[in-house]
Amino acid sequence: MDSMRNAERHWQYDDLVRRLYGLEPESGASEEHLVECRECFGRWEALQLVRAEYLSEAETSPVSESRLVSQRRALWARIDHPGRFWISKWAPVAATSMMLAAGLVLLHPNRPAPAPAPISQASQSIRQPDAAAQLSDSELFSDLSAMAMPAAPKAAEPIRGLFEDSGNERSY
């Protein structure tokens, strides 16, 4: 029954287009019907004509000769000097990143000095007494200053004190 119904069914436009592109019909229309039905076959032939016309037009689409010539010239330049191509391609990227880096440095010229080493670390670096005798004055001075220097800057002490107080309160 189904095959009989399909044989009677006319080809829809979408199915004809699908056939034109090499796909099977979705509605299940039959090939026999397309051959036998004058109306469907006429539509199919008209569609094929339009397609052929369209393809011949697409094939002769205008492209300017100057574009093709400059394309060939660029290609041969690239083949002859491959390094130059990469330089020209990456030079703007490199220049931009350098500019950005320079901008960042200029925007933040006064970076805070690195925090001094904590006392524990400083004391570890102090040499043994017998080795200390062999130290020069300048080395000894730097060792002593490292010991005397607090871990946190002086300005931060009141804030630190606040935290210590609040810790005590919590323990009560």
Among the listed residues 7, 33, 78, 142, the single contact to another protein using CB under 8 A: 78
**Radius of gyration, CA atoms only, the chain:** 43
Residue 91 as a binder of another protein (CB under 8 A): the answer is: no
Q: What's the rounded Cα separation, in Å, for the pair 106 and 100?
A: 10
Ranges within 25-54 binding another protein (CB under 8 A): 43, 46-47, 49-51, 53-54
- 47 neighbors 13 (Cβ within 8 angstroms): no
- Residue 50, CB half-sphere, CA atoms under 13 Å: how many? 9
Residue 86 as a binder of another protein (CB under 8 A): the answer is: no
In order of 43, 51, 95, 107, 136, the CA distances from 20 in angstroms are 12, 8, 53, 64, 94
CB of 35 to another protein, least distance (A): 19
Among the listed residues 1, 2, 4, 61, the single contact to another protein using CB under 8 A: 61
**Residue with Cβ nearer another protein (15 or 122):** 15
Summarize as ranges the residues that interact with another protein (CB under 8 A).
13-14, 16-18, 20-23, 43, 46-47, 49-51, 53-55, 57-63, 67-68, 71-72, 74-75, 78-79
